[in-house]
Structure 1
């Protein structure tokens, strides 16, 4: 049985939660390996809609063990609120495991995130203000607080005091904000320590042992390829590695143990926050995609920027992640369009680029080169096999498959749990 990495192929919000849920009954562990509560997954089960921010989607599947691995940064208050909300709706959360090596988001980093973004003004990055970036910066600066530190109050206090010696100077002297008290931080961090203690463990050992036993482990990325801190549209990126390589460093499971990489590709493109977006639409077509696709952030509620599908981005995701299978989501949103443009290359000051430009400034100035594909008017939300799709919808999928360079194994035709067409096994059985 395989170890599978699931990533977003664009700028996030592609529907990774639904793909995880699709695999759920075949998966023993679902692992969140990067990010924090700055990204959300929406899963629809029957008439119930679940918005998950920090928890892995596998928490909604009976028999599946959800894991928050070492590469995640954890806001304890958000975690407890999310657990309480699910339990109030009858969801069993008792199997959740949390890495002792995961970093905790302290309250001073939320403050710094918000004031820094406001200070940047027009140069802002579009962060969610949840302290994610400053916490990853603390991790790299080796002044971070880990989950295991919650269980040694003396060490925790020393780390908080050391951090605030510097951070309070920044708050007071640069941003003219009040200092954060050590006791205030200690109280917030300690408040939830006992609640999560039974969940804290060596998750790398647990996961490697599971793979040894032949169980299926699914690594679920937060954010997406073009938001990866190394391979995304820097600096308009997240603070972690959201590509398939991040699954290894973020979980402690080696690259040689990964069997498949599944990438989620929305049938059009969206982006939240700042940064270049070649196919972005500022017209009625963009409004159509936003309203029909309900393109508003799961975590923030922010309206998403919308544009046509960009297969240059898709090819890049294939290469960077080593994609074996694509899942196309929200194909139903395109129903009713007479023609559907697909970006197949960029024009940068008269030069054609069939691959991502190496320079960020070139990407910023890239103009999309479109190929027009015929649309369809038939309702596809009830289709359950590829042959059920109208001919033009089939042609759209096949052309995208050809352009991105990896097979399309599943197609989403609606938000519901059963509204998916499966062409090939995502477990690699065919």
Structure 2
């Protein structure tokens, strides 16, 4: 029996969906522990692409239990659309394959309206780059004890009472401060009552189910969203998401104790990208950055926004290794670098003339940092035929060993393309 946490080791979009899909083969249960539909996990099976925003990526494997933990915030409309899309493709033939914790907080129309209006009103450095999905405002209400949970939604009288209780304050804020139109309580109650009728069949307790299955000897895979550097406590605040993206979030977001976590695998691109605002020391605003964006098809799975691109940042990665207690790295999109003669790795920063080898916790300080690079030769060849580490070109092997050296974490998996069969496993965390 083993329990493995999958985390993003950069600013998100690292390819976690594919790695979860690969590791699901060895697990009985896959649990999502934080975030909402601001995340997009792209999976390619054969030649068919599937994009998931809420449902764990393991859902493409028949017979695997997929659990949405209490740490997630859920948009019922998006969730149900995702279910319908999966069923239309022949997946999720058995509804018991999917469980949603009753303590999941529900994204309400006022959360989305406030999220969009705030970002629209913000200027310059005040813009966060939010997706406008209502994620942040939902977490605000969760912490402020003004949230509506799934267990409330499926009980009509309680749900209606809470909407009537909370909406006047939200409408006041929307109208008087943000200059937006108010929302109608009866319309909201009617719309969400229809969602509740379908959602009730998935209602369960993630903590009870997962702990029972751990006791029974199941292999468990925990799936995070976004990336370590977007963690609300340890990321580049305030340019972060609103939840705990680190491995520790798997415990609070599902109700499984930390002594049951056996391994933490960080997912990292062979370079780095970022979506939205915030400091990004290795960002490339030139032809090379555009080449990485074009070759890597770096456009957000959720928003379609072009991602910012840059060279691999070992300083930032070491921060992620430390804060997550990572036991292994999965390096994705190695094939994007196939054509490059020289590849750069940032091993330290220069900040106001001082060399930094640890990641600044202050975003303003980070914004003043410039990268100190080490150059390594590219392999300039196609990786697609490689089925093992030994079959990779010698220079590709050397690049991966260099990443291990500068991050202090062993590489356990290498992705050389989007499909399942374009994956090399050096070490399986499930043994």
TM-score (norm 2): 0.98
2:410 counterpart of 1:407: yes
Asked if 1:330 corresponds to 2:344, the answer is no
Give distance in 2, aligned partners of 1:233 and 1:291: 26
- The match for 1:344 is 347
**CA deviation profile, 1:391-419 (whole Å, cap 9, x unmatched):** 11110000001111111011000111110
Whether 1:49 and 2:49 are equivalent positions in the alignment is: yes
1:13-32 to structure 2, matched below 5 A, reads 13-32=13-32
| 8 Å CA contact retained: 2:378, 2:396 | yes
1:370 CA drift (Å): 0.3
Q: Distance in 2 between matches of 1:134 and 1:361?
A: 24
Q: What's the offset of the Cα at 1:359?
A: 2.8
Structure 2: 5+ residue runs without aligned partners?
none
CA apart distance, 1:358: 3.4
SS of 1:130's equivalent?
coil
Instruction: Report the 3-state secondary structure (helix = DSSP H, G, I; strand = E; otherwise coil) of the residue aligned with 2:361.
Output: coil
Residue 222 of structure 1 is matched in structure 2 by 225
Aligned to 2:12: 12
User: Whole-Å Cα distance in 1 between the matches of residues 178 and 14 of structure 2?
Assistant: 36
- 8 Å contact kept, 1:382–1:413: no
Q: Select the residue among 96, 100, 111 that pairs with 1:98.
A: 100
Question: How far did 1:152 drift?
Answer: 2.0
1:202 matches 2:205 = yes
- Secondary structure at 1:26 match in 2: coil
How big is each residue's C-alpha offset from its partner over 1:285-342, in whole Å with a ceiling of 9 and x where there is no partner?
0011000000001111110000000011111111000000110000110011110000
**351, 375, 380: which one pairs with 1:377?**
380
Give the TM-score, by structure 1 length.
Answer: 0.98
Matched, 1:33 2:33: yes
Which residue of structure 2 aligns with residue 287 of structure 1?
Answer: 290
Query: Which secondary structure state, in structure 2, belongs to the residue aligned with residue 332 of structure 1?
Result: helix
Please identify, of 309-318 and 180-189, the stretch whose mean Cα deviation from structure 2 is larger.
180-189
Q: Match of 1:149? A: 152
Q: Does the 8 Å contact 1:46/1:416 carry over to 2?
A: yes
Which residue in the other structure is 2:390 paired with? Answer: 387
Pick one of 119, 122, 126 that aligns with 1:120.
Answer: 122
Bigger mean CA deviation after superposition, 343-352 or 21-30 = 21-30
Secondary structure, aligned partner of 2:241: coil
* TM-fit CA distance, 1:101: 0.4
Identify the residue that residue 163 of structure 1 maps to in structure 2: 166
Q: RMSD in angstroms over aligned alpha carbons?
A: 0.9
Corresponding residue for residue 111 of structure 1: 113
Matches within 5 A, 1:179-328: 179-328=182-331
Contact preservation (8 Å) 2:331, 2:414? yes
Q: CA deviation at 1:12?
A: 0.4
* Structure 1 alignment gaps of length 5 or more: none
Partner of 2:344, secondary structure, is: strand
What count of residue pairs does the alignment treat as equivalent?
428
Structure 1 runs of 4+ with >4 Å offset? none
Inter-partner Cα distance in structure 2 for 1:169 and 1:409: 52
Q: What's the CA shift for 1:202?
A: 1.2
CA distance in structure 2 between the partners assigned to 1:247 and 1:409 by the alignment: 21
